Amino acid sequence: MSLGFSINPVSSRLKPDLQAKIDQKTKPLGALGQLENLALKIGLIQNSLEPQLNKPTILIFAGDHGIVKSGVSAYPQAVTAQMVANFLAGGAAISVFARQHKLELFVVDAGVNANLTAHPQLIDAKIAEGTKNFLYDSAMSVSQCLKAIQSGAEMVRQQQVNGCDCIGFGEMGIGNTSSAALLAHCLTGLSMDQCVGRGTGLDDSQLQNKRKVLLQALNFHKDITAPLDVLATFGGFEIAMMVGAYLKAAELRMLIMVDGFIASAALLVAYKLYPAVLDYCVFSHVSSEQGHKALLSYLNAKPLLNLELRLGEGSGIALAYPLIQSAVLFLNEMATFADAGVDEQTNT
């Protein structure tokens, strides 16, 4: 099913010129390692020998999940709204890191089960007050799913109109590692054991119950394989909005910064719909949540960091952003051998 996006693969036309520019910097060939690959990728995404990072922004999509009623989380559902308030008050990890690195930060109410107080950084896009419990029903209707996708796309369009060309997506939703695990399993063929992890910190017995519940849900919803059907059945409103956000960002040729397991599961859905979306993605880190490493491998992704994070929120994006900055800065500002009067390597 087409959603109306038009996403072209990144052109490789500038690759020889970008590589030559990188190779002429005052360093041995390849000495900046992955940073050189990152600079090349960003230059190709922007189709420029002098790429820029304008108004880098993180959107945190928040939503509640009906599956929490079946005991898959160590925290109660009310924590979603409480953490949204913490984001807006500036007290969360992502709030601290966004301030540190001068990243714009907005929180999107995609489907929080609470009435949230208006705030300049809060975007009200509530589809409903949480999804249904997918143990007994589809998490959302197809129309709700499509509305969420288009809403996420529109938010990215607005950020681009405001001058942003570098964007990342975080999430907050108690229970959403359950959704992400099922999306990963259904759309990749990875085993449930590979996909289901401890989430917010389940102990062994709680983890066993989570696996049992998710297997029961799979048995209830048999033979669902189409990406949008899987998303509507097992996803969350915040995940569906991220899908639309990824697709619009790629359509607009923006640099996309990818966070952890849930964000990568949303990207998986987007990739299954429009494979070229991956051309625009930089993967910030590999988390310690079960399933993320396997999912990144499936996407052939090479993350920048491995800090054993499992927080979500876009925290990995904020921590990796200085590396993205460094890649752009060395490409634009580092002297060439000719500029610096330094002898180049000789072949003998």
- Mean pLDDT for each 10-residue chunk of the chain (348 residues)? 90 98 97 98 98 98 98 96 98 98 98 98 98 98 98 98 98 98 98 96 96 98 95 98 98 98 98 98 97 98 97 98 98 94 76
pLDDT value of residue 1: 61
Q: Is 158 left (phi over 0), alpha (psi -120 to 50) or beta?
A: alpha
Query: Quick one: 192 exposed, middle or buried, by C-beta within 10 A (0-12, 13-18, 19+)?
Result: middle
The answer to whether residue 313 is catalytic is yes
Q: Which residues have C-beta within 8 Å of that of residue 183, sequence separation ≥ 6?
A: 230, 231, 234, 235, 239, 265, 266, 268, 269
Note the helical H segments in 50-175.
Answer: 78-89, 93-100, 142-161
Q: Coil, strand, or helix at residue 141? A: coil
Tell me if residue 115 falls in helix, strand or coil.
coil
Provide the whole-model pTM.
0.97
- Single-letter code of the amino acid located at 348: T
**pLDDT computed for residue 342 by the predictor:** 87
Alpha-carbon span 157 to 159, nearest angstrom: 5
**Separation of alpha carbons 226 and 258, rounded Å:** 23
What backbone phi and psi angles, to 5 degrees, belong to 57?
Answer: -140, 145
Q: Which of 50, 289, 313, 333 is catalytic?
A: 313
Which domains does the chain show, CATH number per domain?
A: 57-330 (3.40.50.10210)
